[in-house]
């Protein structure tokens, strides 16, 4: 028998697709600091409806789906504060526990900084097997980041994780304080598509692959432009090595943030996918279980 939650998920999927369509088709082009175009909706009435619907349906869709699971919020430089705040709120409404927020700086993600970042990871993790066994470059950097901040099951921060986090912070590769706990899930909130993200895509794909392998799962979420050519979500989706990393390309929508919480729940159950706009292979949002 089809339950009520199934109907809510189905209707929300339709509205999410509609909202994304409005943003993509009826919005205007904003400009980021470097002049790159990003998409935004201009109709405040539609935005108000979408936000209101999301707030009313979120409890029905996501109530306790994360059930006290620890989550680390990771951002890329240029990620919008409202997207980060909205994703954080959606995780908490779903019962998740956000252990902290860190930012991966341009110094880390820009390919020109790879050698320095790899040196930091190698030196700081010289006695850690999962780091020394990883391939040089971003796989090793990702393994070091994972050991600093994540675990397959939530665990207290220890001397090794604190040492690694301090090395990344001192090298200006990561901004943010070391959380008291290492989380079991991570959400990477990306910046809108820009000339900078075009250069960072391969780096991020390699990093999130390593984070995913060392945790219970990773979701990469960005605004609608992030799944266009040159966006960070698009880069992760195009990378074969990152096939087990989930993606959501509507983190700038209230309904899209619900999709992020549901995607995290899917990761907990060992499933991954790509959700959001019509550019997403698995539809608007995960199906009701």
Give the Cα separation of 226 and 288 in Å (integer): 26
What region does 28 belong to: left with phi over 0, alpha with psi -120 to 50, or beta? beta
pTM for the predicted model, two decimal places: 0.87
Percent of the chain with pLDDT over 70: 84
pLDDT at 115 over 80: yes
**Radius of gyration of the CA atoms of the chain, in A:** 18
Instruction: Dig out the tokens for 105 from the structure.
Output: 């700086």
194 near 32, Cβ under 8 Å? Answer: yes
pLDDT at 123: 97
Question: What DSSP state is assigned to residue 224?
Answer: G
The residues, any chain, with a CB within 8 Å of residue 93's CB and separated by 6 or more, are: 58, 59, 62, 261
From residue 45, how far is each of 18, 98, 208 by CA, in Å?
Answer: 14, 31, 37
Do 212 and 244 touch, CB atoms closer than 8 A? yes
How does pLDDT run across 18-56, given as a tens digit for each residue?
555 544 433 333 344 444 434 445 567 777 777 787 777
């Amino acid at each position: 028998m089809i339950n009520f939650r199934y109907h809510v998920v189905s209707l929300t999927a339709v509205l999410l697709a509609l909202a994304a369509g409005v943003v993509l088709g009826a919005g205007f082009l904003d400009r980021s600091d470097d002049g790159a175009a990003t998409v935004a909706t201009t109709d405040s009435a539609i935005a108000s409806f979408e936000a209101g619907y999301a707030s009313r349906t979120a409890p029905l869709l996501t109530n306790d789906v994360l059930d006290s699971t620890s989550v680390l919020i990771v951002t890329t430089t240029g990620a919008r504060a409202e997207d980060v705040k909205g994703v954080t709120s959606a995780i908490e409404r779903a019962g998740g526990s956000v252990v902290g927020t860190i930012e991966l700086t341009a110094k880390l993600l820009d390919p020109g900084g790879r050698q320095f970042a790899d040196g930091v990871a190698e030196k700081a993790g010289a006695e850690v097997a999962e780091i020394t066994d990883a391939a040089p470059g971003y796989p090793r950097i990702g393994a070091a980041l994972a050991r600093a901040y994540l675990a397959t099951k939530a665990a207290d921060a220890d001397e090794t994780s604190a040492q690694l986090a301090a090395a990344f912070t001192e090298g200006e590769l990561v901004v943010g304080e070391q959380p008291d706990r290492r989380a079991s899930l991570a959400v990477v909130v990306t910046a809108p598509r820009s000339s900078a993200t075009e250069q960072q895509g391969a780096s991020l794909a390699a990093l999130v692959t390593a984070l995913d392998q060392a945790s219970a799962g990773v979701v990469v979420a960005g605004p609608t432009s992030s799944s266009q050519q040159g966006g960070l979500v698009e880069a992760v989706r195009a990378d074969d090595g990152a096939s087990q990393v989930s993606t959501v390309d509507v983190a700038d929508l209230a309904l899209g943030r619900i999709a992020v919480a549901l995607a995290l729940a899917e990761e907990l159950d060992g499933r991954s996918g790509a959700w959001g706009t019509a550019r997403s292979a698995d539809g608007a949002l995960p199906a009701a279980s």
